[in-house]
A and B are shown apart, each in its own frame.
Chain A
């Protein structure tokens, strides 16, 4: 009988670069910057790391194939390094690899690092991916981009709950302005200007009904974590441990796309969050979760995710959003660090960047954004498209909480 990951692994060091248009840095500089901070935070040296996982999505446009870019850039001591790619869950997948390795006893200390260098392509948005979706798909799938694929969800959501699209857009505007307010407090965020709901609503349209400020930024960045067992952490003199409470992943199997789905929620997130709460021993997430970093690639993704995390009732996310429930001073503060909205989304790094904020908050090191005594934090990634996606959820918290 599986017992789950709860409290079997502790995070003893983390690092995160400043995210942004890092014109003068490539994957190697970004990874080293995050890694140096992480080593220092953990009080360890390169030689202490026994295995590593690299999360990276667009190898074609960035670092290249395999885990060699990480092993070579970080000068890791000829240890096992594995590259994982699972769309936007890539960073959390790297973390899962390292955590599972430690939990299994295969090694004592493992590294998870995520990186994405997006700004070497010469145009806005994510790299073109239609031609990278397989030899059959590229011949027939719709001429989609990420904003378009997620924008559809807004029309599906409005139709399901009989809402005027403008009502939905108002809630989406609050989602984005709230994240910008948080990002303005974060020196590592890419976008640090507050924006009003009016500015969001009046921005140029990118993909109906989403405007420019409904879309997250596009940035370069890297983040990493060093994990070990709570016992080893204590033996290294670590106090106030942050431990892993749950790691869950759920992937579409084609049902949404080709069989049955309401077009107004994420089947995968709904399932992964239920499993994660069970693994973490959480009965009432709305009460027990102190803070969240969810995958706000687009404002509509965040809105719908609130329901799939079983925190807002079905159809009630717009109301909770408008009531400020997810604001920094609300019931469950969400996108505490500014989210993808303000950090941008260097894909392989994002999951680890979210964990970095949870880690800082749990240690009371989040500066102007610091929440009062958080105990449990949840991170969420959603890769792919609303109708065909990869969802990862991580829950971390104070060891023993």
Chain B
């Protein structure tokens, strides 16, 4: 049996009420009031498509051996590198093996996630691979006071495809590919350029999704009534309903488009909605997934008995529950670099990242891999040639030791108003890992007044800096204090 063996999801903690956008920007474009309900998810200033993909991928791989992956595919239209494999960053953050794997970016279209999934399934069907992780993620910047600013949210989701312990069996696919342009983003452009909504709705979503699903049903002989959930993105509420009407799908069988809770997450959205559906699915449920973008991919799955015992990921439901309201539209605008605020002269330092160091220290910097001394057993970060234990000081006798999955406790911390930061104060501290080892990390996704010495933290892969002059995004790990909620 071939199909899905695990899933994971990631919706960033910050949520921006659409009313907040209306309050700030309706003076400029009153039409945005039409979709003022609900809230959108907002990536923190130190998140991007790659970091969110890592979060979803790690969620999907909780309790699983990442060394057994034969490849990871990353689907996104907002990748930080045009030439440097972005999926390779995800793979390094997962500390995957490097030999005998095949990683790939699927990009330039918001249906790239399902396209990557079909490709993964085909390679498994062909017997070339056993286990492929497909992650979809998007963090699209939008101009102020636009409908897409209202509609779009940020997020990521991951699906693990394989042959063993399948929780949802793959039942076939069908694709339509056509050069229909509802919107596009030219190379080097910051924002989407879209045609009028009626074009996107009526000739785009409203025609192409039904055409592809119709084609799938005809090809496989299945009927729309066979399916317990039909999952397709479309942020125009009326059109989303209209598609169901066209295809004769019962209202309760249509997966919610999540406009109210996080907005449309772009390339990630078919997966985000699908993972939400999987989280509620029962054995025997049939799920039909469709995407949209220069055509449409349709994929069918049947949930197996194994879903009953399937546990582990935080998923979309879990990450939606970890919510903090972003109460300031200005702060949101700064996170997305839509407004210019002074970082100060202290923030001008701009050393280039040594590519040699990034290679030599890739496990440390991307995988948060340290060492454990073979003599005294002490876990330590960073790995150095001599053991840190003063009663040991063994030389070059280490095994690799992963800290990314370890919880830790705050030993000391501060909130620094002097440090140059997009979101002051810069919060950081010394943390001690469960099982040994300690280090100093930046903290993120937290409010200073919630933090105490002794509080638990979890590790999160984040964007550490962006070198504007050279276009380089640097990543490292930060600590997230485990204080739920909070308003920022």
Binding site for B on A (CB under 8 A): 121-125, 128, 130-131, 135-136, 138-145, 147-149, 151-153, 155-156, 158-159, 205-210, 253-255, 257-260, 263, 387
Contacts and interface: CB of A to CB of B under 8 A. Distances in A.
18 contacts: A123-B344, A128-B349, A128-B420, A135-B354, A136-B357, A140-B364, A140-B382, A141-B440, A142-B440, A148-B414, A148-B418, A149-B414, A152-B429, A206-B418, A207-B417, A208-B425, A258-B438, A258-B439
B389 A259 contact: yes
Contacts of A139: 353, 357-358, 361, 365, 464, 474, 476
A155 B381 contact: no
Interface string B436-475: 0111111000001000011000000000100000000010
A208 B448 contact: yes
Contacts of B429: 142, 152, 155
A128 B411 CA distance: 25
A259 B378 contact: yes
Given A143-B419, A144-B428, A152-B413, 6 more contacts: A139-B365, A140-B382, A142-B428, A152-B429, A208-B416, A259-B380
Contacts of B474: 139
A207 B454 contact: no
A255 B389 CA distance: 7
B454 A125 contact: no
Contacts of A135: 354, 357
Nearest to B384: A254
- What are the nearest 7 A-B pairs in CB distance? A148-B416, A156-B412, A142-B428, A159-B453, A151-B414, A152-B412, A131-B349
B390 interface: yes
Given A123-B345, A159-B454, A258-B439, A136 B361 contact: yes
A71 to B, nearest CB: 30
B249 interface: no
Contacts of A206: 416-418
A257 B426 contact: no
Which of B365, B388, B414, B426 counts the most A-chain CB atoms under 10 A from its CB? Answer: B414
Contact of A125 (B346, B358, B442): B346
Nearest to B393: A253
A153 B413 CA distance: 8
B438 to A, nearest CB: 6
A208 B415 contact: yes
B356 to A, nearest CB: 8
A117 B416 CA distance: 25
A208 B349 contact: no
Interface of B: 344-346, 348-351, 353-354, 357-358, 361, 364-365, 378, 380-382, 384, 388-390, 411-421, 425-426, 428-430, 437-442, 448, 453-454, 464, 474, 476
Contacts of B416: 143-145, 147-148, 151, 206-208
A255 B388 contact: yes
Contacts, number: 139
A137 to B, nearest CB: 9
Which of B357, B419, B421, B476 counts the most A-chain CB atoms under 10 A from its CB? Answer: B419
A208 B426 contact: no
Nearest to A153: B412
Contacts of B388: 254-255, 258-259
B418 A145 contact: yes
Given A128-B346, A152-B412, A159-B453, A142 B417 contact: no
Contacts of B365: 139-140
Contacts of B454: 159
B364 A255 contact: no
A154 to B, nearest CB: 8
Contact of B390 (A123, A140, A158, A253): A253
Contact of B428 (A123, A128, A143): A143
A228 to B, nearest CB: 39
Contacts of B442: 142-143
Nearest to A138: B351
A257 B388 CA distance: 9
A130 B439 contact: no
A388 to B, nearest CB: 9
Contacts of A136: 357, 361, 382
Contacts of B428: 142-144, 148, 152
Contacts of B351: 131, 138
B378 A263 contact: no
Contacts of A141: 440
Nearest to A134: B357
Contact of A122 (B345, B354, B364, B426): B345
B24 to A, nearest CB: 28
A209 B346 CA distance: 21
Nearest to B441: A142
Nearest to B476: A140
A139 to B, nearest CB: 6
B136 to A, nearest CB: 28
Nearest to A130: B349
A119 B26 CA distance: 46
Nearest to B474: A139
B413 A155 contact: yes
Given A135-B357, A259-B380, A140 B464 contact: yes
B425 to A, nearest CB: 7
